[in-house]
Amino acid sequence: MDKVQKSGRIQQGQVNIRRLAVQALLTINRDGAYANIVLQQVLAEHQLSDVDRRFFTELVYGVVRRRNYLDAIIEALAKRPLRKLSSIVVEILRLGFYQLIYMDKVPDSAAVNESVKLAKKMARGLDGFVNGVLRNFLRNREAFSIDELAKSDVERLAFIYNQPIWLLEHWLAIYGEEKTIGLCVWFNERPRLTARINTLKNSISDTMVAIEKEGWHAVPTGKVPEAIYITKHRGSLESSPLVKEGLLTFSDEASMAVAYVVDPKEGERVLDCCAAPGGKTMHMAARMNNKGHIVADDIHEHKLGLMEMNAKRLGVTNVAFQLQDATRLPSEWGGSFDKVLVDAPCSGLGILQRKLDMRWHKSAESLTTLPILQLQILEQAAKAVKPGGVLVYSTCTINEAENEDVVTTFLASHQEFSLEDAAPFLPFEVTGPMITLWPQRDEMDGFFIARLRKQG
């Protein structure tokens, strides 16, 4: 957590949670770091009590989620665009308003006074401005309600559900209002802590006993046999022996569903050509009991090291990790894999609940370039499939242009492949042949999975 440390100066033992939150928010919003990674790093560095961990998490995630409405309030009160304000002051104000509007347990006086104290320490000379802006809000809260600030119906929805206007317009045009709101509500809910029991290390029942012994509580999700919701835990997740010793790994059920559709068997040769961070690779290795061989590729070198560490932790021994651009796979791989998985780079619009900050970084333009890359990777991966073998295409998005349209375009020029019904491979009820997992319907991340069979 270099950046937080650099701007930090926080001593262990006297941590001011709000200050820690402002520094984390600067790293996320100003420097472009991923919110979940910053949060994990800060929590790993500071031995916070459970109450402080929860408070810190709520402050950071709350501000990241509610950013558009909080910013509209700040601009209205400061009477200037955000970019004309110091980034530290912006984060202090976002945090102050978040507490005033969304945290009933924080008295208004504490939210204002603590923000002013932060400004005194972190933005010398601007504490009066922070004080004035927050107190002006308290004098006339109604003037800054969503109904007062929204300039259109879609902006009103954007403030209520905290999504960018372009994305709401896109969803409203395709799904209509009811389905769009259902999606938005899901994406704003606190994600459940879902983990996969690593059957390479221990049986499901023995792991459940180990979880209880650790003082945690978990329940099966009821859909994927190895999937559990952790409903109670203590301390940092990563430092628990359950995680360090590889009994558990964090992953959503929708992601686990992909390994079921690939259905790798012991002894088979499997290619996972967009593999990092390796969630599906490790799950496939477990389903193969480490027997057979998986080649796991990614285009980013730094991600390979992380995957190797993860494999060691989870006791995965049948994977070769390789730096490889999947748009140019080696010709000697042609026709040599029983199963090939393309878990394609995508817009990630199905996992906005877990990646809270992602909604603010996407654009309508970014959606149009992805299908070209996805099709390119699928074309290459198809060559690596043995006659009679299987090609699985998956994404963590619900965007049709990256899902059904890519598969349909691919099939139109590849008569040697046919679409199989993916539904019977899943341990829970869905409708195929191509599968879209809808968050608000299936209560998991939004995913797309298609299973194609090459002629024998």
Ligand X SMILES: C[S@@+](CC[C@H](N)C(=O)[O-])C[C@H]1O[C@@H](n2cnc3c(N)ncnc32)[C@H](O)[C@@H]1O
108 known member of a binding site: no
For residues 350-365, b (16+ Cβ closer than 10 Å) or e, as one string?
bbbbbbbbbbbebeee
In eight-state DSSP terms, residue 191 is P
128 binds ligand X (CB under 6 A): no
Choices 13-21, 229-237, 276-284, 357-365; region in contact with ligand X by CB under 6 A: 276-284
Q: Which stretch binds ligand X (CB under 6 A): 109-117, 207-215, 271-279, 381-389?
A: 271-279
Annotated ligand binding at 339? The verdict is: no
Query: Taking the complex as a whole, how short is the minimal distance between the CB of residue 283 and ligand X, in angstroms?
Result: 8
Element at 20 (helix H, strand E): helix 17-25
| Residue 69 C-beta-side C-alpha neighbours within 13 Å | 24
DSSP 361-402: H--HHHHHHHHHHHHHHHHHHHHHEEEEEEEEEEES---GGG
CB of 277 to ligand X, least distance (A): 5
Please return the burial class of 213, using the count of CB atoms within 10 Å of its CB with bins 0-12, 13-18 and 19+.
Answer: exposed
Q: Which of 114, 252, 297, 402 binds ligand X (CB under 6 A)?
A: 297
Residue 427 DSSP symbol:
S
Using CA atoms, how far apart are residues 147 and 145, in angstroms rounded to an integer?
A: 5
Q: How far apart are the C-alpha atoms of 93 and 73, rounded to whole Å?
A: 10
Binding residues with ligand X: total (CB under 6 A): 19
In the three-class reduction of DSSP (H, G, I as helix; E, B as strand; rest coil), residue 217 is classed as strand
- 277 annotated as a binding-site residue: yes
Cα 65 to Cα 72: distance, rounded to the nearest angstrom: 14
Name the minimum Å distance from CB 90 to ligand X.
31
Please identify, among the stretches 24-32, 78-86, 111-119, 277-285, the one whose residues bind ligand X according to the rule CB under 6 A: 277-285
Q: Is 302 in the site for ligand X (CB under 6 A)?
A: no
Draw the binding track, 376-395, toward ligand X (x: CB under 6 A; -: no contact).
--------------------
Instruction: Specify the DSSP element, H or E, that contains 439.
Output: helix 439-442
**Closer residue to ligand X, CB minimum distance, 246 or 279:** 279
Find the part of the chain contacting ligand X (CB under 6 A) among 59-67, 148-156, 295-303, 399-407.
295-303
Interface residue with ligand X, options 121, 156, 293, 303 (CB under 6 A): 303
Q: Which two tokens stand for residue 38?
A: 């910053």
The stretch near ligand X (CB under 6 A) out of 54-62, 150-158, 192-200, 320-328 is 320-328
User: What is the rounded CA–CA span in Å between residue 292 and residue 318?
Assistant: 7
- Give 274's DSSP letter: S
Q: Is 273 a catalytic residue?
A: no
**Token pair for residue 4?**
């937080």
Q: Which residue has the tokens 């654009």?
A: 363
Specify whether the CB–CB gap between 152 and 168 falls below 8 A.
Answer: no
279 carries a ligand binding annotation? yes
Binding test (CB under 6 A) with ligand X, winner from 62, 246, 278, 439: 278
326 binds ligand X per the rule CB under 6 A: yes
Name the residue nearer to ligand X (CB basis): 112 or 256.
Answer: 256
We find the least distance from the C-beta atom of residue 325 to ligand X, in angstroms, to be: 5
Q: Does 275 engage in binding with ligand X (CB under 6 A)?
A: yes
Of 156 and 293, nearer to ligand X (C-beta) is 293
Instruction: Indicate the pairing of strand 337-343 with strand 269-272.
Output: parallel
User: Between residues 91 and 442, which has the closer beta carbon with respect to ligand X?
Assistant: 442
Per CB under 6 A, the list member of 189, 325, 416, 421 interacting with ligand X is 325
What is the H or E stretch that residue 442 is in? Answer: helix 439-442
User: What residues numbered 173-232 form the site for ligand X, per CB under 6 A?
Assistant: none
Whether the CB-CB separation of 64 and 357 falls below 8 Å is answered with yes
Please tell me whether 280 is known to bind a ligand.
yes
> Is 298 annotated as belonging to a binding site?
yes
| Residue 276 assigned ligand-binding role | yes
| CA distances from residue 136 to 90, 253, 341, 421 in whole angstroms, order as listed | 16, 46, 56, 60
Measured from the CB atom, is 121 or 362 closer to ligand X? Answer: 362
Tell me: does residue 279 bind ligand X (CB under 6 A): yes
| 101, 218, 243, 274: residue in contact with ligand X (rule CB under 6 A) | 274
The CB-of-16 to ligand X minimum distance in angstroms stands at: 36
439 in a labelled binding site: no
Q: How far is the CB of 389 from ligand X (least distance, A)?
A: 19
Are the beta carbons of 456 and 404 closer than 8 angstroms? no
Q: Is 274 annotated as a binding residue?
A: yes
Catalytic residue among 184, 273, 346, 396: 396
Q: Where are the alpha helices (DSSP H) in 66-164?
A: 67-78, 87-102, 108-122, 127-139, 146-149, 153-161
Annotated binding site for S-adenosyl-L-methionine: 274-280, 298, 325, 343
Annotated binding site: 274-280, 298, 325, 343
List interacting residues with ligand X (CB under 6 A).
255, 274-280, 297-300, 303, 325-327, 343, 345, 396
What residues are labeled active site? 396
